[in-house]
Amino acid sequence: MGKTLFDKVWDSHVIEKIDDGPDILFIDKHFIHEVTSPVAFVGLKNRNLKVMYPERTFATADHNTPTTNQHLPIKDRLSAMQVKTLEKNCNEHGIDFWGLGHKKNGIVHVIGPENGITQPGLTIVCGDSHTSTHGAFGAIAFGIGTSEVEMVLACQTIMQQKPMKMRINVNGELNPNVTPKDVAIYIISKLSSSGATGYFVEYAGSVFENMSMEGRMTVCNLSIEMGARGGMIAPDEKTLEYIKGREYAPKKNEWNKAIKYWSTLKTDEDGIFDKEYNFNGEEIEPMITYGTNPGMAIPISKSIPKAKKSESKSSYQKALDYMEFNEGDKMIGKKIDYVFLGSCTNGRIEDFRTFASLIKGRKKSNSVNAWLVPGSHKVLKSIRDEGILDILTQSGFKLREPGCSACLAMNDDKIPKGKYAVSTTNRNFEGRQGPGARTLLASPLVAAATAITGQITDPRDII
Amino acid sequence: MAYDKFKILNSSAVPLNIDNVDTDQIIPARFLKATERIGFGDNLFRDWRYNSDDSKVESFPLNNNIFKGKILVAGKNFGCGSSREHAVWAIYDYGFRAVVSSFFADIFKNNCLNIGVLPIQVSDSFLEEIFLEIERDSKNTFEINLENQEFKIKSSNKKEKFDISAYKKSNMSNGFDDIDYLINKKDKISAFSNKTRY
């Protein structure tokens, strides 16, 4: 029987199958950050255990760090404590720590790929649900809880039941100004925020084949927003081209062996999926969310729909009440107070290039507060080197320092209560970007168009 | 981390009849700053439980004295979003030992099983009956029997079976976790780690 890409990678990492229980899965690479790791290290200490393979774990500070004045000590006492604890734990156990100011520091799912740690065929985990990002390289990558972080530190394994398999095919060609973010939000709006729960997704079809590696990362990143454990895309020439020469990439003879193996990592013709969806890329428009989960999304030119029959009426109304929107409202023209560009979803150099391409020669609206946060120091460096910073500055935008920032608003970057933010992030949950904040998820292009006009704007109307 | 053994639980329940409750609602990110697992229950459902001036939202079920118990009953797709285990720590620390819903998000469910909170998935119609039962009288009790994998509405004696793997069931009823199991497999793991895939 044929195997899927997912089967091939999963099965080659199973150390033991437990009867009526989970598989013991070997983990190749593990990322940790300051928020979900400290209790795992406390657990190790209580059990008197060491980290089994410290060279397989990489640490960064990103979730709870300031995005201004990173050269100064962190002001927030608790945040400072978390970062210090991470550093101490890493030193004690011999783990590479890329803290604030380190040239490799940045958001965990940005720095993994850009340093070549993320590679096809690997199992990659992190105590963060957007670990699915790394699936863009044909790796099995997913988020885990802190108990599992402790397991990986202690035993380089986790115990999980093999999920079901889903393939999502998007064929055809995307229209101009439709970005990978729009493709992902479109899919989530069709499947709902729980439509892929229990599944691991493979994305296939010409739209993904033609997509850049960074675009693929955005799509895989958002897999969790429809409930999937993760999403992956078979490696191809673009994947190899992206990885080659990066610091942790295989070199010389190892590279040749690696690419031979990677070329086998694709779904066999007779590979079987438990569920399959087909979409037409030409039908996808720039998307925006109007509610309080990422499935509540529509093409930007459309009006807010009535509750679907499958939805609980009260939950739907609760979401609209929170947003102070009504069924039938048009999205275009709604006043926006904040624009946020960044996060593990859309904080890479291509996202900044896209944003800059639209704002170039235009001015930021005075009524909009714009927060632009690069995903890493390397992204920040490219923004400077490519002259994007000059374009941003001339248009009235300022750049902050790398981190997760207002995506989850753990640090001081909080959207104030009641304010509306068009955000390139991944979650529009109540209060996600600050208590009472109202988030509308969209692409970097929609964010740019909105930053210029101060109201929700279809980028196709001003390009 | 060791936790209390789970065998049979008899308790009234607290209803939260909302769908798609995400982990940012269960515990907002600004309360994830601790470096030890202490006190998360105080901030369980923080922004639904308290107004911005820290006064209680009287209508929220956790603030309503008629609702008590070790069972939380919630709408479908409970625990979606962030992988933060802090959400389950908060639920446990508040005093819940079981969460009932008609659908759980994957990572949340795993996190529950890893720290000794039993996630019980029931049918949509049975979930509706449970909510009605609490509405009729909030003192009505339920029985969870882990060994038989059964959730019972005691007044009517109506039961529904729930799924849990034999492995996880054994862990829950003995208070074991996965590391207790894995620690004996280290030789096998280290042999595997030397295997190259290319």
A225-235 per-position pLDDT tens digit: 999 999 999 99
Average pLDDT over residues B1-23: 92
Position A364 confidence tier, pLDDT thresholds 50, 70, 90: very high
Q: Which residues pair with A420 in a beta bridge?
A: A438
Q: Read off the pLDDT of residues A282-306 as tens digits, 9 standing for 90 and up.
A: 999 999 999 999 999 999 999 999 9
B195 has a pLDDT exceeding 90: no
- Tens digits of per-residue pLDDT, A389-430? 999 999 999 999 999 999 999 999 999 999 999 999 999 999
Question: Do the domain assignments include residue A123?
Answer: yes
Average pLDDT over residues B104-118: 96
Tokens linked to A26: 């070997």
pLDDT band at residue A442 under the 50/70/90 scheme: very high
Q: Which residues pair with B10 in a beta bridge?
A: B143
Confidence of residue B2 (pLDDT cuts 50, 70, 90): low
Tell me the average pLDDT across A62-86. 96
Confirm whether A44 is domain-assigned. Answer: yes
Q: Is A12 on the interface with B (CB under 8 A)?
A: yes
Look at residue A3 and tell me if it is in a domain.
no
A1, part of any domain: no
Quick one: A191 and A245 in the same domain? Answer: yes
User: What whole-number distance in Å separates Cα of residue A411 and Cα of residue A406?
Assistant: 8
Domains of chain B, residue spans? 8-193
**The pLDDT of residue A1:** 81
- Sign of the Cα torsion A78, A80, A83, A85 reads negative
Among the listed residues B65, B69, B58, the one whose alpha carbon sits nearest the alpha carbon of residue B14: B69
Instruction: With beta carbons less than 8 A apart as the criterion, state whether B22 and B80 touch.
Output: yes
Instruction: Tell me the average pLDDT across B94-111.
Output: 97
Contact of A43 with chain B, judged by CB distance below 8 Å, is answered with: yes
Please tell me the number of Cα atoms within 13 Å of A233 on its side-chain side.
31
Task: Compute the nearest-CA separation of A312 from chain B (Å).
Answer: 7
Tell me, yes or no, whether A119 and A169 share the same domain.
no
Residue B1 scores a pLDDT above 70: no
- Among candidates A414, A411, A405, A419, which has minimal Cα distance to A433? A414
Which contacts qualify for A385-388: CB closer than 8 Å, 24 or more apart?
A386/A349, A386/A353, A388/A352, A388/A353, A388/A356
Complex ipTM value: 0.96
Residue of chain B with shortest Cα separation from A227:
B105
Q: Tell whether A156 is within 8 A of chain B (Cβ).
A: yes
Q: Which of A365, A8, A314, A18 is nearest to A161 (CA)?
A: A18
Q: At what angle do helices A146-155 and A38-47 cross, to 10 degrees?
A: 50
Identify which of A382, A386, A358 has the alpha carbon closest to the alpha carbon of residue A370.
A358
CA distance B96 to chain A (A): 19
Looking at CA atoms only, how far is residue B18 from chain A in angstroms?
6
Instruction: Tell me which residues of chain A, numbers 351 to 390, contact chain B at a CB-CB cutoff of 8 Å.
Output: none
The pLDDT of residue A216 is: 98
Q: At what angle do helices B106-115 and A146-155 cross, to 10 degrees?
A: 70
Q: Tell me, what CATH number does A266's domain have?
A: 3.40.1060.10
Last residue of a domain, one of A261, A283, A305: A283
Is A373 in the same domain as A301? yes
pLDDT at residue A312 tops 80? no
What CATH number is attached to the domain comprising A310? Answer: 3.30.499.10
Residue A72 has pLDDT above 80, yes or no: yes
Tell me, what DSSP letter sits at residue B163?
-
Which domain range does residue A328 map to? 287-462
**Residues A201 and A275 grouped into a single domain:** yes
Phi, psi of B186 (to 5 degrees): -60, -35
Closest C-alpha to B188, from A4, A157, A215, A290: A157
- Which tokens belong to B163? 């799924």
CB-based contact B30 A409, cutoff 8 Å: yes
**Average pLDDT of span A455-461:** 98
Chain mean pLDDT for chain A:
97
DSSP A68-134: S-TTSPPSSHHHHHHHHHHHHHHHHHT-EEE-TT-TT-B-HHHHHHHTT---TT-EEEESSGGGGGG
Band (pLDDT 50/70/90 cuts) for residue B4 is: confident
Q: Is A43 within the bounds of a domain?
A: yes
| A211 and A153 within one domain | no
The pLDDT of residue A313: 79
The number of folded domains in chain A is: 3
**Chain B residue with minimum CA distance to A257:** B198
Chain A residue with the nearest C-alpha to that of B177: A147
Q: Are residue A143 and residue A177 in the same domain, yes or no? A: no
A309 pLDDT more than 80 = no
Q: Is B183 on the interface with A (CB under 8 A)?
A: yes
Contacts of A51 (CB under 8 A, 6+ apart): A44, A57, A93, A94, A95, A153, A154
Tell which of A248, A283, A318 closes a domain.
A283
- The pLDDT score that the predictor gives to residue A294 is 98
For the domain made up of B8-193, give the CATH fold. Aconitase; domain 4 (3.20.19)
